[in-house]
Structure 1
Amino acid sequence: MIPTMPASPSPSVPRLAVVDIARGVAIIAMMAYHLCWDLSYFRFIAPDVGRDPVWVVIARSILFAFMALVGVGLVLGHGRGVRWARFWRRWLFVLAGALAITLVTWFAFPESYVYFGVLHAIAMTSLLALPFVRTALWLPIVVAPLVILLPLVFSDPFYNERAWSWIGFWQVPPPANDLVPVFPWLGVVLLGIVAARLVLASPLVARLAAIQPRTRLPRLLAWLGRWSLLVYLLHQPILFGLTAAVAGLLQPGLAMRDTDFLRSCQVSCEAGGTTPGLCVTYCQCGLEGVKRNDLWSAMTTGMVTAAEQALLDAQNRQCSVLIYPELDRGEADDAAL
């Protein structure tokens, strides 16, 4: 996930440092998420950060904050009139960052490169949402929930293709390390526009404008918020590179392979109808056999010699009898996974 660039307020709108601070908090959350993603990718930690349901919720929450702040920035920057030169300068900068990310991930992850990530979405939704900073307020209030809810009630296999998936109505999305479609995220940008317009039209704006970062931490957060795009473009290559270097030295995948084996075995065992408790016993037996007979290469590559297959068959029988003692050795093969 990638933050947006901050928008400088137009002359008649007070500078809201609290918005910069909010961006700073969001970008720290994003950096922490990316660090955990890197640790997961190199197998320092067990959860699959890109797919684990809890981590998906965390990622979507951070993304929600950033996309809402896009709408807030549009209002602060152009709510009293669009400053086209500033808008296009910032838009081209965001677009250049998006294209750079696509190019880098194309080489690093050719099967799941980022073809429409957060920066791409920010560039597109900024164009689509800009008119709503000056329309009647009721219009974004009505359109925002429609945009958010429409993908929940409409989808079509046509949008499964990469060329059209960025719109957001897919049933099965193409593989991508980051995919942020226009629907529903344009709706979140519109929510940010609504919130900012309501605040600017209320007495609350004066109280928010009075909030200034006077101590070290708020100042740091405000600085990060003002330079969020630059921080993003620099931090992830650095984090990824450092994590890759440490992984090359420590080889965390070797340490995690026991956990991976047990998890995969448990899932397969329970899917075959065996109770979880018996599956734990069976899989632990299998792990001990793999270690004892040095069968890791056969397990991970699928290239099994005749001798290794004989060891695996014998191990399978032994572990099956361990959880089904009423079976003899011949019948155990049928009960084993």
Structure 2
Amino acid sequence: MIRPDPALRYERLDALRGAAVVWMAIFHFCFDLDHFGLIAADFKHDPFWTWQRTAIVSLFLFCAGLGQSVALAQGQRWPRFWRRWAQVAGCALLVSAGSWLMFPRSFISFGVLHAMALMLLILRLLAPRLPPAALFGLGLLALAAPLLWQHPVFDSRWTNWVGLVTAKPFTEDYVPLLPWIGVMLWGCALGRWRPALLQGALPAVLAPLAALGRWSLSFYMLHQPLLIGLLMAVTMAA
């Protein structure tokens, strides 16, 4: 069982989150190189890039689900949950504002942080009341839902967060509730079903990843402004 110690870190989970952060940073750096015309890549249609984006988002949400299983097993209280949730939700608002300044026609209204804020609330309410098998089943339904039904009512910017759209919206990042909450539900289900997977020693070579994973939200918020600023300086100096 996971020990009820809220101060205890699970380095395997931190390292997995850190790996997602590194992969994301490399992906975004390539995206920025394309944006500044330093390379030519089709991030919207080339499977090499679209599948990477899907894998990175999936890994982040899966880690978030694992993290919720740990938080619940450790008896995390609502005040502590709300503090972390406010950080995620606040960063989501900053992402929307920043993307609106840079991409006013395709700003991010419901990206990965917006999705994570909503999904964390749903998991906080559902996970303590459902066994792992039920969480897995709900996750499967969530993943299948957009394949089974779509409707134009969900195509507006005010409703596309649900995910049952008939066409993908024109935005820089889009991570709707469906199907993506399915990935987080599966992460939570696995963490509840096999908590021992998160425990145990971590090889020393992976310690930097674990350290990075503990600051994943801060890194997420800072890496793009730094990369974009660096590339702007390079292109202006060239």
TM-score norm. by structure 1 comes to: 0.66
**Contact kept in structure 2, 1:24 and 1:228, CA below 8 Å:** yes
Choose which of 185, 200, 209 in structure 2 pairs with 1:210: 200
Q: For residue 144 of structure 2, what is the aligned residue in structure 1?
A: 149
Q: Which consecutive unaligned segments of at least 5 residues does structure 1 have? A: 1-8, 251-337
Match of 1:160 in 2: 155
Amino acid at match of 2:118: M
Distance of 2:198 and 2:165 partners within structure 1: 40
> TM-score with structure 2 length normalisation?
0.93
Q: Quick one: which amino acid aligns to residue 163 of structure 2?
A: G
How far off is 1:208 after superposition? 4.8
SS in 2 for 1:243: helix
Q: Which residue of 2 aligns with 1:17?
A: 11
Which residue pairs with 1:86 in the alignment? 80
The percent identity for this pair of structures is 35
AA matched with 1:96: G
**C-alpha separation between the residues in 2 aligned to 1:48 and 1:212?**
37
> Distance in 1 between the 2:94 and 2:8 partners?
34
Unaligned runs of 5+ in 2: none
Q: Does residue 70 in structure 1 map to residue 48 in structure 2?
A: no
After TM superposition, give the deviation of residue 153 of structure 1 in Å: 1.1
**What pairs up with 1:110-189 in 2 under 5 angstroms?**
110-134=104-128, 135-189=130-184
Give 1:32's match in structure 2, choosing from 26, 31, 45: 26
Structure 1 runs, 4 residues or longer, greater than 4 Å off: none
138-147 vs 91-100, greater mean Cα deviation: 138-147
Cα shift at 1:82 = 4.0
Equivalent position SS for 2:184: helix
Name the residue aligned to 2:187: 192
Written as runs of structure 1 = structure 2, the 5 A alignment for 1:199-238 is: 199-200=194-195, 205=196, 208-213=198-203, 215=204, 217-238=205-226
Which letter maps to 1:243? Answer: L
Q: CA contact under 8 A between 1:168 and 1:183: conserved in structure 2?
A: yes
How many residue pairs match? The answer is 236
Report the structure number with the largest CA radius of gyration: 1
| Distance across 2 between alignment mates of 1:16 and 1:80 | 12
